[in-house]
Amino acid sequence: DAKTTQPPSMDCAEGRAANLPCNHSTISGNEYVYWYRQIHSQGPQYIIHGLKNNETNEMASLIITEDRKSSTLILPHATLRDTAVYYCIVRVANTNAGKSTFGDGTTLTVKP
């Protein structure tokens, strides 16, 4: 079973920030939070990951709550090309046992 829950869909206006929430209330202490996105008929694309500190890269920001039971992916200025299914997953890093189970994800639609 997936360890994360996400809203099934969200809309966002082009140029505005898209905030995608994820609940992972059963996350273990050694599990990281990862975000991927998938555009139709392609493999998932890595966006960002973190353990407990907030992270930022050229694509997005990741905000993890202090209790680590939830997180939010922020796309600061959404474009039409950001329309995709966004998956939040948890996995153990730095070990060969870090398999990942995907939940249903959030379909983000960026509208003009």
Partner 1 sequence: GAVVSQHPSRVICKSGTSVKIECRSLDFQATTMFWYRQFPKQSLMLMATSNEGSKATYEQGVEKDKFLINHASLTLSTLTVTSAHPEDSSFYICSATGAGAANEKLFFGSGTQLSVL
* Binding region for partner 1 (CB under 8 A): 2, 32, 34, 36, 41-46, 49, 87, 91, 93-96, 98-105
- Closest approach, Cβ 15 to partner 1, in A, equals 27
Assess contact for 88 and 7: CB atoms under 8 A: no
Q: Which of 55, 36, 60 is nearest to 46 (CA)?
A: 36
Cα of first residue to Cα of last residue in the chain, in angstroms, is 36
Specify the residue, 81 or 99, whose C-beta has the smaller distance to partner 1: 99
- Closest approach, Cβ 32 to partner 1, in A, equals 8
Specify the residue, 21 or 98, whose C-beta has the smaller distance to partner 1: 98
Q: Which of 88, 40, 32, 99 is nearest to 60 (CA)?
A: 88
Assess contact for 98 and 92: CB atoms under 8 A: yes
Specify the residue, 14 or 92, whose C-beta has the smaller distance to partner 1: 92
